[in-house]
Structure 1
Amino acid sequence: MSVTEPAIVPEIGRIVKVLRGREQEQYAVIVQIIDERFVSIADGHKRKFDGSKKKNLLHLELLPEVSGEVAGSIMETGRVTNGKLRFALNKYKLSVQSEAHEKGE
């Protein structure tokens, strides 16, 4: 009997890594859940909130990090600023870099 990790579910504010397409290897934030297969993502820089990209979940790696600021803003107003998206992604990238530095990679 093995214990499996619970699957990471798509939710607004979750940080993802793009695995397929033009923006491959880039990070983005889920800003809308369209249905069980598709979500809209934005990064606040190249892909703004107003021009978010529809992506198949199979083409994304869902990361364990969720930005509370982004999720809260979208829940309250239905929108999020591009600055908040950039801030959330930069904060995540810095935490990943510091973890890699601590491990000596």
Structure 2
Amino acid sequence: MLSNNLNVGQVVKVSAGRDEGRLFFIVKIVDENHVLISDGRKRKLDRPKLKKVKHLKKYNVINDQVKNKILSGEEITDSFLRAELTKLD
């Protein structure tokens, strides 16, 4: 269930902080210790949350649609992220 490497579009669960227990997508990898996460609700794409990797539970679920849209620079909306996360619940 856990993976060592991170990818854009990967689903993570926050294990520390005020967003604890919530699911997010990784939208950008900043460096080996930090990533930007967004869920389209509280943490929208225009203001993603900078999180330390050690405070995230990483899942082996990578949403290819989210990944491809982010990497290609295609327009992606908060409602699209919300819909994709709802499919996982």
Q: Indicate whether the TM-score tops 0.5.
A: yes
Scaled by the length of structure 2, the TM-score of the pair is 0.92
Q: Which residue of 2 aligns with 1:20?
A: 16
Contiguous gaps of at least 5 residues in structure 1: 94-105
Q: Secondary structure at the match of 1:71?
A: helix
More helix by share: 1
After TM superposition, list the pairs within 5 Å mapping 1:18-97 onto structure 2: 18-77=14-73, 80-93=76-89
Contiguous gaps of at least 5 residues in structure 2: none
Q: CA RMSD in A?
A: 1.7
Aligned pairs, how many?
Answer: 89
More strand by share: 2
Q: Percent identity?
A: 34
Scaled by the length of structure 1, the TM-score of the pair is 0.78
Q: Secondary structure at the match of 1:80?
A: coil
Structure 1 stretches (4+) deviating beyond 6 angstroms? Answer: none
Query: Which structure is higher in RCO with an 8 Å CA cutoff and minimum separation 6?
Result: 2
* Bigger CA radius of gyration: 1
